[in-house]
Amino acid sequence: MTTASTYERLASRFRLIATIGECSSMLGWDASAVMPPGGGGGRGDQLAVLAVLQHQHLTAPEIEADLAAAETSDPWEAANLRLMRHAYTRANALPPDLVEAQAKANSDCEKVWRVARKNSDFGLVRPYLTEVLRLTREGAAALSDALGLSPYDALMDGHQQGIGADDVVPIFAAYEEFLSTVLPEVERYQAGQADPVRPVGPFPIAAQQALCRDLAQRLGLDFDHARLDQSAHPFSGGTPTDVRITTRYVEDDFTSAILAVVHETGHALYERGLPLAYARLPVGEAAGMAVHESQSLIVEMQAVRSDSFLGWLGGRLHETFGGAPESYRLENLGRLWRRVQRSTIRVDADELTYPAHVILRFRLERAMIAGDLTIADLPAAWNDGLCALLGVTPPNDAQGCLQDIHWYDGAFGYFPSYTLGAMAAAQLMQAARAQVPSIDEAFSRGDLSPLLAWLRIHVHGVGSRLDFNSILEQATGRKLDPTAFQVHLRQRYLRVKG
Amino acid sequence: MTTASTYERLASRFRLIATIGECSSMLGWDASAVMPPGGGGGRGDQLAVLAVLQHQHLTAPEIEADLAAAETSDPWEAANLRLMRHAYTRANALPPDLVEAQAKANSDCEKVWRVARKNSDFGLVRPYLTEVLRLTREGAAALSDALGLSPYDALMDGHQQGIGADDVVPIFAAYEEFLSTVLPEVERYQAGQADPVRPVGPFPIAAQQALCRDLAQRLGLDFDHARLDQSAHPFSGGTPTDVRITTRYVEDDFTSAILAVVHETGHALYERGLPLAYARLPVGEAAGMAVHESQSLIVEMQAVRSDSFLGWLGGRLHETFGGAPESYRLENLGRLWRRVQRSTIRVDADELTYPAHVILRFRLERAMIAGDLTIADLPAAWNDGLCALLGVTPPNDAQGCLQDIHWYDGAFGYFPSYTLGAMAAAQLMQAARAQVPSIDEAFSRGDLSPLLAWLRIHVHGVGSRLDFNSILEQATGRKLDPTAFQVHLRQRYLRVKG
């Protein structure tokens, strides 16, 4: 047996595993976008069976010898083998009993959390979350041994490879300090400006839908390989050749529909730009959740909310919905869609204060994984932490530690991705603007293509050949450098020139 | 290991296989109803992987000993074991190389057929169909050995168990004779009637959609467990707890949309009524394609096109679309939707002449499987056969032997199911009317529920515990008796009292 065929045998197996994953992904889209409610029970079973089949193929005994024997001098194949070994190690690190116990505990906890959040009753979900944390810590310890990472980093690694808590701690500390001086400045600056005027509806859903579709297409999404639908929570799913994005519509405001479409289009464009030659192989996949978030945010925050793009978009909005032209002018749209406001809810937060919500969760979850914070102490720690970071205190746990699904569904180590992505987006945008001078002029015509062409080369087409920091290094000349984000925020919110 | 656990081990495996099948079914719906065109390649791979996984689990070596050892005194479990053994025998009868070669040949042939039909160029697809037939005959021979059935019956068995060519031959011969006297009579009778008046549109698609949904619901479809969408060709798919039916809409005629919905609702109601306690087990599945067709046709042909239901439906149509009330009256709607006309196209055929199209195909495919008819001779044999049965000759092969996808996709032995289903529907309706006197009175209020309640007990809830003829025997007191269909046709088309 030659080395080449060993590699090819592994590649076939991983393509099979990825193809099963595509089935799950499509069925997940279906469940959120179109499935009738009575299909839920059956769908859960279908997804569980697919997960088991994937896991069986990833832990098959035949893999191990192939992974040990395979060799290659090709850098893509070498990265592919590295990622295969990594996936194999992760899949085999956890005893099957633990995986099953986690799946059950997470599912039970998530169901109770929905009720607990509705009634703002943390006590109701406390025993369930305690069990989720216990099993998560057990899993983190096993992964830690297998990967040679700290337990928390082993969890982070499941969402984003190539960056750990030691990198994040100083970055977040610096941001906290930055925020403590810049947030009051921005509030003073904003107080000196006119209040934004909200365009007056109703804004017919059909017109919003047509506009959203047109906008996604204009940003570069090809509807021969994509769909746009509605769901309770916007998301991007599907597969690289058939991406499915969703948004939600309300008749009295088009903001949420449009900004969600723009955000999800960023995710979708990344998937569409992954290297086709390595489709369904680990090296051909997206490089992690922080990189993914950088691609949604570079479209939503960096491109679409820029002065040049917003100026164009205001005209399109006015064409579509009519009404007073003033409310669609750049000045007003900017004040409306770039308003800074301290709040208790992460998903409603503006670009400047959003990282504070992430920093809070990062610190709390690290302490929980380390065993330094118990679930019983979580609500108070949450409220104290948010007050220290933003000076606001949640009126109840529903608007405090019950607001996000992540922990209740067993997702620890995910939160940093949001802010790492936001920072990476600013750094990538800075580099792209320096390398491609036509970017902003194109934005002012509603045209993303110069930026997209640059991202195709420097991010999308890289797949997972490089990790988070290496992608940034290759694209921008340096690892994650949070000052680009600070420069961006000062420019946008204080009108300070870079 | 006790017998009970052997049975339970088998049941778990078959539930897993069925759950993978549910994934395929949902992805098949997606491909036909909502998938963007660029998703086709990936979807083909996904469905192929799921088929391989199903096959692997069905042919796993561990199954054989369990199937040999398992015992039970429960009649449902006994039927389940019989069906498991049958499925195992079928799956293992074909060498994997042959299965793969068939999948490829069928897929290649089907693609070429689309072009050949469009250009009416049989020569183009002839070599592909020759190869499909060669492999089908090879498979039929292998299945014949394994099942102890004739090669043609072994193919029929793949679509409908419990009935074979020896049963079908005399039934079809009798129908041919019946048709030769009754068709001219009906034509004379029809000639003495006024021509139907076609309601004048346009009929807005949105109004058609709302009406179709309402109608499906009224027939008993629960949209908590169902969807109604559009597709190029109407079908019923999904799973028993999440059925997906489709139809197609044209603005100048509501007929095709409504009758397709009614037909597919019949299929969907069957799936919804299968025995929940045996969900995902062979005994809990539909009893075959002839039984399935009997359930779509009992709703479409027996119930909805009855005088009592049509009388009610005409009122609803007039309410929905307005216009001249005369065209919606029973007399006119009956003449419009129950018009007999000799034609060359099966899917456009009326209830009376439809079986002639099936008889033609049954005879030709039997001869092809037996080696008595070559592909080269197929077009002429088709045209001669249709002329002998109906006195019409296709103007070209597109409207002749190229019209149906079945053979070109490797489906031999399927066609008889259509007419066996139509006959079974008439027989079931006759029995239901005798046992439940309120059925027609309910139809006249647009209410299917007394009939549905009867079908739930006598057909749907039986699952596959009984085969085609045993279901009929249990429900009507006798095996398939084609005279019920003849009585129905004389009543409907000649106004002869039963």
What is the residue-wise DSSP string for A222-268? -TTSEEEEE-SS--EEEETTEEEEEE--BTTBSHHHHHHHHHHHHHH
CA distances from B174 to B302, B305, B343 (A): 21, 25, 21
Known active-site residue B100: no
pLDDT of residue B497: 75
Residue from A53, A56, A229 to probe the interface with B (highest B Cβ count within 10 Å): A53
The counts of H helices and E strands in chain A are 20, 3
Query: In chain A, which residues have their Cβ closer than 8 Å to the Cβ of B45?
Result: 19, 22
Query: In chain B, which residues have their Cβ closer than 8 Å to the Cβ of A39?
Result: 225, 238-239, 241-242
Task: Answer yes or no: do A242 and B37 touch at CB < 8 A.
Answer: no
Query: In chain A, which residues have their Cβ closer than 8 Å to the Cβ of B239?
Result: 39, 42
Q: Which of B26, B39, B223 sits opposite A30 (nearest CB)?
A: B26
> What is the band of B496 on the pLDDT scale with cuts at 50, 70, 90?
confident
CA distances from A199 to A12, A214, A215, A310, B234 (A): 54, 21, 19, 15, 44
A1 pLDDT more than 50: no
Nearest CA in chain B to A47: B23
Nearest CA in chain B to A279: B42
Query: What are the φ/ψ torsions at residue B432 (nearest 5 degrees)?
Result: -65, -45
Out of A264, A285, A293, A351, the active site residue is A264
In A, residues 170-229, which contact B (CB 8 Å cutoff)? 222-227
Distance CA B169, CA B161 (A): 16
Structural domains of chain B ordered from first start = 3-157 (no CATH), 162-498 (1.10.1370.30)
Query: In chain B, which residues have their Cβ closer than 8 Å to the Cβ of A16?
Result: 49
pLDDT of residue A233: 93
Interchain CB contacts (distance < 8 Å): A and B: 85
Nearest CA in chain B to A20: B46
Residue from A12, A43, A46 to probe the interface with B (highest B Cβ count within 10 Å): A46
Out of B264, B293, B351, B365, the active site residue is B264
A497 pLDDT more than 90: no
pLDDT of residue A496: 87
Over residues A141-156, the mean pLDDT reads: 98
CA distance B263 to chain A (A): 21
Query: In chain A, which residues have their Cβ closer than 8 Å to the Cβ of B19?
Result: 45-46, 49
Q: What confidence tens digit (pLDDT) does each residue in A188-217 have?
A: 999 999 999 999 989 999 999 999 999 999
Task: Answer yes or no: do B20 and A49 touch at CB < 8 A.
Answer: yes
> What is the band of A71 on the pLDDT scale with cuts at 50, 70, 90?
very high
Q: Which residues, in sequence order, are bridge partners of residue B227? A: B244
Average pLDDT along chain B? 96
Residue from B45, B50, B213, B244 to probe the interface with A (highest A Cβ count within 10 Å): B45
* The two three-digit tokens of residue A113, written as one number: 């959390």
Query: In chain A, which residues have their Cβ closer than 8 Å to the Cβ of B225?
Result: 36, 38-39
- In chain A, the N- to C-terminal Cα span, in Å, equals 59
* The two three-digit tokens of residue A309, written as one number: 């793009």
Average pLDDT along chain A? 96
In A, residues 235-254, which contact B (CB 8 Å cutoff)? 238-239, 241-242
pLDDT of residue B96: 87
pLDDT of residue B1: 45
Concatenated DSSP letters of A408-463: GGT--S-THHHHHHHHHHHHHHHHHHHH-TTHHHHHTTT--HHHHHHHHHHTGGGT
Q: What confidence tens digit (pLDDT) does each residue in B65-86 have?
A: 999 999 999 999 999 999 999 9
State the number of CA atoms in the 13 A half-sphere of B118 facing the CB: 6
In B, residues 6-45, which contact A (CB 8 Å cutoff)? 16, 19-20, 22-23, 26-27, 30, 34-39, 41-43, 45
Query: In chain B, which residues have their Cβ closer than 8 Å to the Cβ of A43?
Result: 242
Long-range contacts of A389-394 (CB under 8 A, 24+ apart): A389/A176, A389/A179, A389/A356, A389/A359, A389/A360, A390/A183, A390/A342, A390/A343, A390/A353, A390/A356, A391/A342, A392/A342, A392/A343, A392/A344, A393/A344, A394/A344
The closest of B232, B238, B221, B260 to B33, measured between CA atoms, is: B232
Over residues A148-171, the mean pLDDT reads: 97
